[in-house]
Chains A and B, each alone.
Chain A
Amino acid sequence: MASSFSVFSIEVFLVILSCVSKSSEDSLPELSPQKYFSTLQPGKASLAYFCQADSPGTSIFLEELKEAIRPLQDYGISVAKVNCIKEEISRYCGKDDLMKAYLFRGNVLLREFPTDTLFDVNAIVAHVLFALLFNEVKYITTLEDLQNIENSMKGRANMIFSYVRAIGTPEHRAVMEAAFVYGTTYQFALTTEIALLESIGSENIEREHLYFFHCEIVLDLSQDCRRTLMEQPFTTLNIHVFVRTMKAPLLTEVAEDPQHVTTDHLQLGLPLLFIVSQQATYDADRRTAEWIAWRLLGKAGVLLILRDSLEGNIPQRINVILKRAEQEMEYLVLDDIDSLIFHVENNVKSEQMEEGEDEEMESQDLDTQDDEVAETVYRDRKKQLPLELTVELTEETFDATVMNSDSIVLFYADWHAVSMAFLQSYVNVAVKLKGTSTMLLTRINCADWSNVCSKQNVTAFPAVKMYKEGENPVSYAGMLGTEDLLKFIQLNRISYPVNIASIQEAEKYLSGKLYEDLFTYASVSVLGLFSPAMTTAKEKFLEARNYLKGHVIIGIYSEADVWILSSKYAAPLPALLLARPKEGKIECIPLAGTHVHGIVQIMARAVLEIFPEITVENLPAYLRLQKPLLILFSNGSISHQYRKAILTLVKQKQLDSLTPCWLNLKNTPVGRGVLKSYFGSLPPLPQLLLVNVYSGGQVFAFPSDQSITEYNLVSWLKNLEAGLENPIKNLSAQEWKPPLPAYDFLSMMDAAEPQHPTKKVPTCVKETDKQESEKGEQEPEPTRKEPVQTLRIKHWNRNYWSKEAEKPFRHEKEL
């Protein structure tokens, strides 16, 4: 059995591979049992599926079996369907529902397979080869098994150990196909035990592994075999390339011009690395080269070249030459082995990327969701939200509902990811308000009731509007999240502006006692002071209020005795009083001549703090100031000393050109991500940084060896201003480009158009085209898969083995 493998050469293997790309309809011979057994030849393997003669002509299994005919034929294994008929009783003909496939060699039964183990073409090929290569591929389950085999191989031969997740997978098939070719040269060991993989210290154990154990060179039995892990994706082709590079000599010494040197590696699409040595340092260089060669095994070929043997072709300082197929040679000066290896590895990777080694992978990427909102919403689609807490409106109920009760309406579309993400927050609001709010929480699906949504001027989802009796609906313009919406609803429990009736009430309002419960949601309240005659100023104020509903508490006092407040707070009328009851502060802003927009801005700024804790929610408000941020990143709250230092500097107006703030990593954990991006890893905390988002995008770090005092801070800022400090990071100014390409349907359509013949299509494809057009001229339309295949074939042809693939010879192989 084993000796029969010797007839196979690598070329055979290549042709086998090439067949994979050509799809062909193979017919499945259908025989009676007697007929079938008469066809069996000694030594030849055959897979037969026994089924009742009257069973349906097609089934998924038969489809897959048909597909397996060609690949199995390439391994000399015939395939047949045997129809059990009443006249011929065969013991292989089971009960109707217990049909099985049997593998014979000659007329000896090797193995029987229930059809469900042969679930697809990969499983069929994998199982059949696994059964036939019983001796060549040892199935192991424990570390002890592995060590036994390893020990037995030491000094004799190399071995290939692989882990696949399950038997019958495409990866298993790939291993078996490789074993078919290399089974006599190397000992194969296979496991599906993840524990075994783990115990030999593998990382990323969730994926398949293939190791090459270099045991042949091990002479000391106590010594372990060196291992090389295959890093490429688990395909038959990649395994083949990998094994071939293992076979190649570790280090080759050459004396010719690198221009003319070629080895297997180049053919396999891998680079060659020439280490340039000279007589004087030859021994050391050889050791270095060997070490590099081990590290690059399977990724590049390493050669040692003596500078003296060449006639000064290589520039003096150059010590490394990188050669890749069909590319300019790269002359490098590298002192550090790590960076050399990094350079080579990256080159290999980028080449693979360019060539799109695995088209399947590429198209998978295009179809992989990279939108975090869409993906998370999709993954969460089966979760049952307590939607019953919100009232679902329809075209019929909408008007009546919003007219008869104060309501919040969420306009959304059930196919729209952002809408559905927000719906969760919306429902959370409903949960929090359950039984406490007079506001009715409702929602309407604009995918169903598009007319209602467009009538309400909703053209984009999601949108939230508040309908209150006797008022125009107010659009919610805050963050699409539970907290902000809750705040909006709570602050809108009362109507704005609050009409203050007396001086006493005004004082109560300013001290925060009038609407005490609302101050959980707002830190600032605004009081507009107008004399009764100031109607235009009042109108402007009332208009500005519409923009700020749900952000601040707004009141108005316009009685005749308003002068009392005016003089008490030194506020020339008309004026705004900004009260921060928590801090006990009341600030006055004269309003004379200010436009609506100006009033809005004043009130929006009023919400801002002098030295805020930056959060995800409030950052945009501070970014609007367009000043560099002076942020203290802290793990927890900040020290009193630092707060004092900053507040002092603010008072001294030393920080006017900056926005001083701090960030608590406990409240805003994403700050860690920011820090890592600045420092590469998490720096010691607290960390004071100046982030200049707007001009230049530079980030400066306050020296970690200094303590943050007023003095140190001022001198650091001065140094910054003088340009004496170096930024630790320049923020990327890169535009946001498409994350991935799109399908180029236009080119695909061009390729399918008969008047635009694709020039790059290899000749073999043209031949098949010809055949097809001869077959049926009445077929003007391309069949569904053809053009895609055309693209694939074009792609295959770029591979190094295309020439062999075109060789028109067919193989009859025997086992």
Chain B
Amino acid sequence: MGCRGSGLLAAPHRDYCVLGAGPAGLQMAAFLQRAGRDYAVFERASAPGSFFTRYPRHRKLISINKQYTGKANAEFNLRHDWNSLLSHDPQLLFRHYSRAYFPDAGDMVRYLGDFARRLGLHVLYNTTITHVTLDKDPQAWNGHRFVLTDHKGQVYQCSVLLVATGLSVPTLIDFPGSEHVEGYESVSVDPEDFVGQSVLILGRGNSAFETAENIMGVTNFIHMLSRSRVRLSWSTHYVGDVRAINNGLLDTYQLKSLDGLLEADLKDLALVKDSKGKFHVTLKFFLGETNASWSADSVRLPEDDSDNFAMRVGYDRVIRCLGWKFNFSIFDQSLRLSSENEFNKKYPLIKASYESKGSRGLFVLGTASHSVDYRKSAGGFIHGFRYTVRAVHRLLEHRHHGVTWPTTEHPITQLTSSIIRRVNEASGLYQMFSVLADIILLKENATTFEHLEEFPMQMLAQLEPLTGRTAQHGLFVISMEYGKNFSGPGKDVFFYERSVGHTEDAWLSNFLHPVIYYYKQLPTEQEVRFRSPHWPLPRPTAIHHIVEDFLTDWTAPVGHILPLRRFLENCLDTDLRNFYAESCFRFALTRQKLPPFCQQGYLQMQGLAITESLQQHGVESKLLQNYAAATENSSQRTSDRALAPGPRAQSLDSDKEEL
């Protein structure tokens, strides 16, 4: 081992090493490149996005590539562009690579290649990292360095390791007879090969349906078998569930056109071959001790007991489409990336900040990081993880380079519009709903605030150390959410009166809508961990829902903005109304205090002048008075009352009376 030390000394060192030049790896590289960081991407293939050169097998991506939204706002349009990565180059948008709504996987490969090339990302192609381990070093950023060894034995040292290797290992299943099963990754995609065959597909995800869709027209019938009931993405609002574009088989099943769906636990199955070469499904339990020769002719089959057993026919082929898992094999035990837990055999163990629970400085990005929001949000998909990667990059910028999380600071009068702007255009909040949230950090006396974008909500308690910002004076968390009981497999998402239109019922909104949490103090880790189930955050001091909108356009003055303003006003205990200069003038001479809008606008000589037609409307609405036309008649003797202290004394009505 003596040579190991000297080898390490000579080994090239990088601050950041990224494993994998897929979408997540390239996305991280693009941020590191722009920040001028020392990094390298390791890719075993000769070009980026090698997964997409083979998958999906039938080449149609199910991420939408919407060309037209009727809007010019680039950020908004990203809400409906599920394939682009984030960059400052408007040419690097996926719509320049394909016009198809569901594009071809080949276009993705081309896009990723261009992305790496145009941005000049440092990618080491044809470099297969075969082993990753740790080397303790108290001087290192995280108290250790990551040591990477490639297939040629070349060693690299890294301060931070960013794993973006995706899920690359097909999920296999072991049961008697499983050797007869073909895998999705290798099964023929030529429908001709299935003509007149009876096919059993194991699995019920998009790959299973995609496979079925391809051969449906030529087979005798297709049966699909899996443990759980089918999850349709339009009822779960989870993009990883079966998409309508793939679900043709559901039609033919429900229309009794010989295709069908069945539920059973695959682990209890056994597959036996009969003398004609057909496969029969039976139970492991039935095989008993007769495992000497498994043949359908000798083994007990379910149909022997109940002659209407659904799968009593013989199959010509059995295809496994059970998804993928993370490749743990190259990571040394000392990195503690995996756990015994069944679920965690699919995904590495990470925190909500995407940092490994076992090793500081190791972050998991992209599809492999989907454990954070599995079956909830879009973190396993390009349109989601492009934002979580950015969040990780911002954390790293602060942790290692003293760059605090970017914020913009505004006067409190801008609070309502700052929130309205984001909920209407932000794509990160929209895609990564209930995962990433904007945070409004109030400054002392709540006269100004900082707006911090797309922070991982679950890390709220650690906000200060992670971002370098302070949250001493209260905060708002802005996230997007679906209604609590709306989504789920088997839920009727088309029920009558599913949409909520009244502002007072906004909290019952079912479709994706903005939710704003107010905390007087930053919640603690305990509070976040022991929050009530179904709540993405601990109990806030107050909560506001902006009522769902059919057009996802939350700019209605009375339906959306007014209730939000009332909420913010009551949280901050102030008056956030806008006033024309004339009103501010009157307040300035008749009151000792001015509302924030007048303080921050009018008193700074930036008052808002009124025009004639607006003045007219103001008088008609009784919100303004026409002093020019005011008669000497002063029958209103209520001025004293209006000025008396009291919670409602400043309400609109009293303002009217006051004059």
Partner-B contacts on A (CB < 8 A): 363, 366-380, 383, 394-395, 413, 415-418, 421-422, 424-425, 428, 447-451, 459-461, 477-484, 616-617, 619-621, 623, 629, 668-674, 676-678, 680-682, 691, 693, 697, 731-746, 748-749, 780-785, 787-788
Q: Are A732 and B410 in contact (CB under 8 A)?
A: no
- Quick check: A749 and B623 within 8 Å, CB to CB? no
Whether A749 and B543, one on each chain, are in contact in the complex, defined by CB atoms closer than 8 angstroms, is yes
By the criterion CB–CB under 8 Å, are B578 and A374 in contact? Answer: yes
| B634 A670 Cβ-Cβ under 8 A | no
Cβ-neighbour of B610 out of A421, A460, A697 (below 8 A):
A421
Q: B residues within 8 A CB of A363?
A: 504
Instruction: Give the residues in chain A near B485, CB-CB below 8 Å.
Output: 780-781
Query: What is the CB-to-nearest-CB distance from B72 to chain A, in angstroms, rounded to a whole number?
Result: 4
B586 touches A674 (CB 8 A): yes
Contacts A374-B557, A788-B505 known; A623 to B74 CB distance under 8 Å? no
Alpha-carbon distance A739/B539, docked complex (angstroms): 26
Knowing A377-B614, A737-B650 are in contact, say whether A673-B424 is a contact too (CB < 8 A). Answer: no
Is B394 part of the contact surface with A, judged by Cβ < 8 Å? no
B97 contacts partner chain A, Cβ-Cβ < 8 Å? no
Tell me if B647 is interfacial: C-beta within 8 Å of chain A.
yes
Q: Is the CB of A743 within 8 A of B567?
A: yes
* Complex A-B: 27 CB contacts under 8 Å: A363-B504, A369-B623, A371-B577, A372-B579, A373-B578, A379-B617, A418-B608, A424-B611, A460-B414, A477-B606, A619-B588, A619-B589, A670-B586, A693-B589, A732-B645, A733-B592, A734-B645, A736-B574, A736-B596, A742-B563, A743-B544, A745-B507, A748-B507, A780-B485, A781-B486, A782-B508, A788-B505
Min CB distance B315 to A, Å, is: 35
Q: A460-B417, A739-B652 are in contact. List 4 more A-B contacts (CB 8 A).
A: A372-B624, A616-B581, A620-B604, A737-B573
Q: Which residues of B contact A428 (CB under 8 A)?
A: 611
> In the complex where A375-B618, A623-B603 touch, is A677 in contact with B659 (Cβ < 8 A)?
yes
Stretch at the interface among B48-56, B256-264, B635-643: B635-643
Interface string of B564-593 (1 = CB under 8 A from A): 011101100111011111110110111111
B residues in contact with A787, CB < 8 Å: 508
Is the beta-carbon distance between B581 and A617 smaller than 8 angstroms? yes
Q: Which residues of A contact B204 (CB under 8 A)?
A: none
Chain B contact residues, CB within 8 Å of chain A: 71-75, 408, 410-411, 414, 417, 420-421, 424-425, 485-486, 497, 500, 503-508, 539-540, 542-545, 555, 557-558, 561-563, 565-567, 569-570, 573-575, 577-583, 585-586, 588-596, 601-611, 613-615, 617-618, 620-621, 623-628, 630, 632, 634, 637, 639-640, 643, 645, 647-652, 658-659
A780 to chain B, nearest CB (A): 6
A484 to B608, CA, bound (A): 11
Known interface pairs A428-B611, A447-B73, A742-B566; A372-B623 also in contact (CB < 8 Å): yes
Docked complex Cα distance between A735 and B587 (Å): 12
- B546 CB to closest chain A CB, in angstroms? 11
A residues less than 8 Å from B75 (CB atoms): 450-451
Inter-chain CA distance A367–B581, complex, in Å, is 25
CB distance from B269 to the nearest CB of A (A): 30
CB contact between A380 and one of B424, B425, B595, B617 (< 8 Å): that residue: B617
A178 to B116, CA, bound (A): 79
| CB neighbours of B590 from chain A (8 A) | 673-674, 677-678, 731-732
B607→A616 contact, CB < 8 A: yes
User: Is the pair B424, A447 in contact by a Cβ cutoff of 8 Å?
Assistant: yes
* Cβ contact within 8 Å between B652 and A370: yes
Give CA–CA (A375, B563) in the complex, Å: 14
Give complex CA distance A482, B485 in Å. Answer: 52
Contact residues in A for B640 (Cβ distance below 8 Å): 680
CB pair A680 B639 closer than 8 Å: yes
With A451-B74, A738-B570 as given contacts, are A669 and B623 in contact (CB-CB < 8 Å)? no
Nearest Cβ in chain A — how far from B610, in angstroms? Answer: 7
The answer to whether B651 touches A739 (Cβ under 8 A) is: yes
- Name the residue of chain A whose CB is nearest to the CB of B486: A781
- Between A and B, how many residue pairs show CB distances below 8 Å? 295
Known: A623-B588, A674-B586, A781-B485. A374 touches B562 (CB 8 A): yes
Q: Roughly how many angstroms separate A47 CA and B632 CA in the complex, as a whole number?
A: 57
Please report the C-alpha to C-alpha distance between residue A375 and residue B485 in the assembled complex, in whole angstroms: 36
Partner of A448, one of B73, B504, B586, B634: B73
B613 and A424 form a contact (CB under 8 A): yes
Contact of B605 among A425, A477, A672, A676 (CB under 8 A): A477
Residue with the highest number of chain B CB atoms closer than 10 Å, among A368, A680, A735: A735
Given contacts A379-B617, A678-B590, A738-B573, contact A372 B504 (CB under 8 A): no
B545 in complex: contacting residue of A378, A693, A741, A745, CB < 8 Å: A745
A448 touches B71 (CB 8 A): yes
- List the A side residues contacting B623 at CB < 8 Å: 369-370, 372, 375-376
Which among A422, A619, A735, A738 is the interface contact of B585 at CB below 8 angstroms? A619
| A495 CB to nearest chain B CB (Å) | 23
Within the assembled complex, what's the spacing in Å between the Cα atoms of A50 and B561?
Answer: 46
Which residues of the partner chain B approach A740 to less than 8 Å between Cβ atoms? 566, 648, 651
Task: Give min CB distance, B332 to chain A, whole Å.
Answer: 44
In the complex, chain B residues whose CB is within 8 Å of the CB of A422: 608
**What are the 7 closest A-B residue pairs judged by CB atoms, nearest first?**
A481-B609, A681-B634, A415-B555, A738-B569, A669-B627, A736-B575, A373-B578
Query: Smallest CB–CB gap between A635 and chain B, Å?
Result: 11
Contacts of B578 in A (CB 8 A): 371-374, 417-418
Contacts A418-B608, A450-B73: A736 and B594 contacting too (C-beta < 8 A)?
yes
Taking CB as reference atom, which chain B residue is nearest A692?
B592
The answer for the CA separation of A477 and B557 in the assembled complex, in Å, is 27
With contact pairs A483-B609, A742-B569 given, residues A373 and B580 touching in the complex (Cβ less than 8 Å): yes
Q: Are A374 and B589 in contact (CB under 8 A)?
A: no
Cα separation A749 to B504 with both chains bound (whole Å): 12
Determine which of B421, B581, B594, B639 lies in contact with A677 in the assembled complex, contact meaning CB atoms within 8 Å.
Answer: B639
Q: How far, in angstroms, from A448 to B73 measured CA to CA in the complex?
A: 4
Judge whether A734 and B617 touch: CB under 8 Å: no
Residues of B contacting A735 with CB < 8 Å? 574, 593
Q: Which of B411, B505, B620 has the most CB of A within 10 A?
A: B505
CB distance from B491 to the nearest CB of A (A): 9
Known A370-B623, A416-B417, A481-B607: A673·B577 in contact at CB below 8 Å: no
| Nearest residue, chain B, Cβ from A377 | B614
How far does the Cβ of B630 sit from chain A's closest Cβ, in whole Å? 5
Does the CB pair B544–A742 fall under 8 Å?
Answer: yes
In the complex the two chains form, is B608's CB within 8 Å of A383's CB? Answer: no
The interface residues of chain A lying within 8 Å CB-to-CB of B563 are 366-367, 742-743
Report the minimum CB–CB distance from B654 to chain A (whole Å).
Answer: 9
Please judge, given known A-B contacts A413-B417, A480-B609, A481-B607, whether A373 and B71 are in contact too, CB under 8 Å: no
Tell me if B543 and A736 are in contact (CB < 8 A): no
B232 → chain A, closest Cβ, in Å? 18
Q: Is the CB of A673 within 8 A of B606?
A: no
A28, B417: Cα distance in complex, Å: 49
Residue among A424, A478, A731 making CB contact with B591, cutoff 8 Å = A731
* Neighbouring A residues of B596 by C-beta, 8 Å: 736
In the complex, chain B residues whose CB is within 8 Å of the CB of A421: 580, 608, 610-611, 614
Complex contact A739–B569 (CB within 8 A): yes
The docked-state distance in angstroms from the alpha carbon of A413 to that of B420 is 11
Docked CA distance A779–B581 (Å): 54
Given contacts A428-B611, A449-B72, A680-B637, contact A673 B625 (CB under 8 A): yes
- The residue on A at minimum CB distance from B485 is A781
* Docked CA distance A676–B656 (Å): 12
Specify the chain B residue showing the minimal Cβ separation from A485.
B609
Which of B411, B570, B603 interacts with A620 by CB under 8 Å? B603
Task: Please pick, from B73, B566, B617, the residue contacting A366 in the complex, using a CB distance under 8 A.
Answer: B566
Bound CA span A117–B530, Å: 58
Q: Nearest-CB distance from A395 to chain B (Å)?
A: 7
Q: Which residue of A lies closest to B508 (CB)?
A: A784
* B419: min CB distance to chain A, Å: 12
Distance between Cα atoms of A743 and B500 in the complex (Å): 15
